Amino acid sequence: MTILENCDYYIRLIPLPGSVGGVLTPNDDGSYSMYLNDKHFGEMLLDDYMHEYEHILNCDFDAGKCIREIERERFKKGA
Ligand SMILES: [Zn+2]
């Protein structure tokens, strides 16, 4: 796992529709808010976390791409 330097992210478990693993939003201060589904647990929750974490690692919010394009590329990679 890559360690991110100078990047804060905050994780909150919140109610989300069952099929939604998580949502990631950038904050004005350069940090991120990661919202994960409070109905998921164990490996499923870890997979949700890793999916959102990869968005941070890949600087997906800086890419200027729409979220559908980003997710389509992600699923091609199998993550
Ligand atoms: Zn995603």
Cβ atoms 12, 35 nearer than 8 A = yes
Token pair 């791409």 is at which residue? 65
Cβ atoms 10, 32 nearer than 8 A = yes
Task: Give me ligand 1 centre to Cα 16, in Å.
Answer: 14
8-21 confidence digits (pLDDT tens): 999 999 999 989 99
Beta bridge partner(s), residue 26: 32
Task: Give me ligand 1 centre to Cα 72, in Å.
Answer: 9
Residue 53 has pLDDT above 90, yes or no: yes
In this prediction, residue 62 carries a pLDDT of 81
In this prediction, residue 66 carries a pLDDT of 86
Task: Give me ligand 1 centre to Cα 44, in Å.
Answer: 14
Indicate the length of the chain as a whole number: 79
In this prediction, residue 70 carries a pLDDT of 84
Residues in CB range of 10: below 8 A, 6 or more apart: 31, 32, 33, 34
In this prediction, residue 39 carries a pLDDT of 96
Task: Give me ligand 1 centre to Cα 43, in Å.
Answer: 17
